[in-house]
Structures are given as structure tokens and as C-alpha cells.
Amino acid sequence: MGAVVAVSRWLHFCGIAVLLGSIFYGRVVAQDLIPRFKPWAYTAIGAILASGIANVLSKPSIPPHYYAWLGIKILLALHVFGVAAFYRGKPQSLTGALIVGALILGISEVLRYMSLP
């Protein structure tokens, strides 16, 4: 079970790195997302969703307030997914997605701390 959890966490991190890294590059360097980004975004979103579900299911015990923070994290992640999937040339939406992505990373650390034995 340990190897599966490690692979799932690795997949989750890789998906996040690709998604947020590409959005950062598109906003800061290129000033726009290139059309070739879409397949990578969809792959990253799928990896994040699949590995996120696996990560939650692999936890032996979770405190009740964990689910409240997890719900907030999921709703914020849906915003980032929506910006990546439906981007229509507005750089402000990329800025918003980057800010929300930073909030998600902070909430992830809170969740990690909560789930430690």
C-alpha cells in the first residue's frame, strides 16, 4: 500500500506542477495561454482528480473538520480547472487562477498537518 500512496502523491504533485506552472508561464512570460496547452491541462486535471480521490481514500483516519477544508480546496480547484479549460484570452483570469492556486497550496499544507498521526 505504501508504494501506491507514494505514486498517487507523486502523480498529484506532477499534475499540480504542470497546471499551475503552465498558467504561471502563460500569465507572466507569454502573456497568454497557447492553444497547445489544452491537452496538457486536461491530462493534468485528470491526474489531479484521480490521484486526489486515491489520496483521500488511502487515509486511515480523518478528523471531522478535515472535510470542511477539503471541500473548500475542491471548490477552489474547480475554479482553477475552469480557467485552464475554458480560457478565452483574458489575462486577469490567469492572475486569479494563480492566486487561488496559491491558496490551494496553503490549504493542502493544513490538510496534511491534520491527517498526520
* Each residue's pLDDT tens digit, 39-65: 999 999 999 999 999 988 888 888 888
Query: 31 to each of 9, 22, 48, 53, 95, how far by Cα in Å?
Result: 31, 11, 25, 33, 11
Q: Decide if pLDDT at 30 tops 70.
A: yes
Helix ranges (DSSP H) in 58-90: 64-86
* Residue 1 binned pLDDT confidence (cut-offs 50, 70, 90): low
C-alpha cell at 37: 496547452
> Which has the closest alpha carbon to 113: 63, 79, 44?
63
Q: Decide if pLDDT at 69 tops 80.
A: yes
Domain that holds residue 90: 2-115
Domain count, the chain: 1
For residue 65, count other CB atoms closer than 10 A to its CB.
Answer: 9
pTM over 0.85: yes
> Which has the closest alpha carbon to 57: 43, 41, 70?
70
